[in-house]
Structure 1
């Protein structure tokens, strides 16, 4: 006999959690795992430990609070194993709507007021759009046009943290964690994804990562294509241009090997190249937006060779696509991409894949607003990553059930009607309590 319709969501959630429970070790972790994931999906203002305890155990909140604090902050379960199980459970449901088309690398930030939370420093905070006190995490997501799923998540550790033994010990940073730049963290995640056999797609990245020549070269070496945002001053060799070949060997000493430049052999910035293109080079392209609406803009594409420090090379870099966006009404182009997608890729497909990067913005919006990714209030390395792992697990359940229980407060409440905060409750982390 089928379960009543009102219990369908809870039944599917129980099956999902049973799958996660199979990889966390001790049986006594099963209940806090279920309660924490459930609390992350409930419509409370904060998704930190205290309000989760209040919503999942209103009659014994204090005891639940301690249990969840230990589970998240001290629990010895593996983030990697849980994320692997999330992929195993969710990926087939994503692929029912189409194959994985892209891997997206990016980072997300969390403003912080104190100085003691792991990795917090004054650095660029994307959420605020300026330099400020925050934590930053680098992520890798796999996506198609229907949905996306984060598969790797790692806190960026600034140099002042990486080299401070006292601070490291206080927040439990593992000994093997050393300073790495954000592109280096992203590359490690991409290499891991290749080794793990994840379904491949083009690697998408914004200019914060795309300007890193070594990162792009390493992605190519892994056999992956990319669509990488770049800055307007990036230099390239336009069609029909290139550096001078190495000097002719005089017969003495080592033969010259390095490419050369002179007044007649100079690369151009992508902005200079774009402004010099004829009107006929521009074409209006339409692509699907975040909510299914059709968006359009003017684009041009040109086969170029990247010029960055190629005077230290013996051969020019291979040709790749330069994609340029110049919307009507703008005084100059607004976006530039380099792409190693095949030379015969359709213009519309090139634009469509470049614009697919918007999925990561949707990821972050839902992870933060719907499941409280930025609400962790602990200070430790383990707790920071445990909270994020279970946010991704909750998000994975919601996107796999999107047609039945999309991530919204009203739908989640209907799916789990027995869980609700007592009237008048305010967590210590809420704006009203503060």
Structure 2
């Protein structure tokens, strides 16, 4: 990329950041809190490796973290409004046919017992049962990029059943115990209600339950949902006879039933696996929603690792005639949310939340979602400015985007006239 293209990129970045701050400021009744929130966003996007309150305050030139702590704590604003704002903002640029709504969870490791939702529970972030919070997230993934568009902190029963813990962490009275699949179903419902353009939903086995399957069939959405090896699958209605557990079906397949396909590019190139697709039944869409038409296919997608033959299984629902290549593409989009978690944690301070309250967690995470969405938007818009002859220097552009603007702290911040009273 030539110097002119880099200058275009920097101008795009600067203009976008200022516009995002204007939209962010609309959430706050008092200008001083809006200014502190803009400074908070600067801190998330800045070069500091730790995005703690003191680190953000030091980068902003504040004597202490109290102004930014007020954004997460004492100030009055609705994090769910910001969540929806992030969704709409991301979709303006990233919306695309064939998009996938990916739902997954990630862990926030903790040492104490007072942070809202903390407890000993399994998290893939550590690969074991440990003391942590669990956040359930939805990401919008298209050929234009990926952005988080929803989130919710999971509360174990040990929290919802103890009034004293709820009160201390300021958990709203309206929040009761809900399972992770129920949280996922609520996120899907919000996405559909917002007329979000997506054709598919992809999840791992935690969220592959009957309620979500029926919800998506009624909505006319395709899905590729993780299944267990022990899950039962049966064919019917003019399909070749298949019956048994997913693992039994996979082991009975003929060698020619498998095809080698890429689930997308990873850090080491194409993610190649052997795949098999078993159609189980063709059903009319109006069986689930009288306003829908067309023939849809219920199926089982199977993935086999090349190195050790390890198997993974996916329950599928798609329009009749959908090719296995499309199902593999959808399943491969789940990697996007894993990459997004890593970037948000290592670059944007997703896990550097120092608050203990329910609303503090959702405010911090929603601000990180905004920063991440801005990066996706800037990257996509910058790509449209990059001509083919400038691609040889594309790595510079990616470092600018993925490095999350090391120049952010040097750019003009929002006014720093927020109150500086100590935290309550």
176-185 or 27-36: which moved more? 27-36
Within a 5 Å distance, the mapping from 1:26-425 to structure 2 comes to 26-57=30-61, 60-62=62-64, 65-95=65-95, 98-99=96-97, 101-210=99-208, 212-238=209-235, 267-290=243-266, 293-304=269-280, 320-331=298-309, 333-402=310-379, 403=382, 406-409=400-403, 412-417=405-410
The RMSD of aligned alpha carbons is 2.6
Report the CA distance between 1:303 and its aligned residue.
1.3
Secondary structure in 2 matching 1:273: helix
Counterparts of 2:205 and 2:149 in 1: how far apart (Å)? Answer: 21
* Change in 2 beyond 3 A, CA 1:14/1:419: closer
Secondary structure in 2 matching 1:277: coil
Question: What TM-score comes out, normalization by structure 1 length?
Answer: 0.80
Instruction: Report if the CA contact (8 A) 1:55-1:419 is conserved.
Output: no
Q: Which has the higher contact order (CA 8 A, sep 6+)?
A: 2
* Change in 2 beyond 3 A, CA 1:196/1:320: same
Aligned residue in 2 for 1:9: 13
Secondary structure in 2 matching 1:23: coil
Counterparts of 2:235 and 2:199 in 1: how far apart (Å)? Answer: 28
152-161 or 78-87: which moved more? 78-87
Structure 2: gaps spanning 5 or more residues: 1-6, 282-295, 383-396, 414-424
Report the CA distance between 1:137 and its aligned residue.
0.9
343-352 or 25-34: which moved more? 25-34
Aligned residue in 2 for 1:250: none
Report the CA distance between 1:36 and its aligned residue.
0.3
Counterparts of 2:224 and 2:149 in 1: how far apart (Å)? Answer: 19
Instruction: Report if the CA contact (8 A) 2:97-2:198 is conserved.
Output: no
* Change in 2 beyond 3 A, CA 1:45/1:416: closer
Instruction: Report if the CA contact (8 A) 1:145-1:356 is conserved.
Output: no
Instruction: Report if the CA contact (8 A) 1:300-1:325 is conserved.
Output: yes
The count of residues paired between Structure 1 and Structure 2 equals 375
Question: In proportion to residue count, which structure has more helix?
Answer: 2
Instruction: Report if the CA contact (8 A) 2:139-2:150 is conserved.
Output: yes
Instruction: Report if the CA contact (8 A) 1:173-1:381 is conserved.
Output: yes
Cα offsets for 1:342-369 (capped at 9, x unmatched):
2200121111111111111011111111
Counterparts of 1:284 and 1:344 in 2: how far apart (Å)? Answer: 20
Name the larger-Rg structure: 1
Counterparts of 1:104 and 1:221 in 2: how far apart (Å)? Answer: 18
Cα offsets for 1:119-145 (capped at 9, x unmatched):
001111211011111000111111103
Cα offsets for 1:26-46 (capped at 9, x unmatched):
322221111000100112121
* Change in 2 beyond 3 A, CA 1:7/1:213: closer
Report the CA distance between 1:100 and its aligned residue.
5.5
* Change in 2 beyond 3 A, CA 1:230/1:386: same
Within a 5 Å distance, the mapping from 1:420-431 to structure 2 comes to none
Report the CA distance between 1:50 and its aligned residue.
1.6
Report the CA distance between 1:117 and its aligned residue.
0.5
Secondary structure in 2 matching 1:345: coil
* Change in 2 beyond 3 A, CA 1:198/1:8: closer
Question: In proportion to residue count, which structure has more strand?
Answer: 2
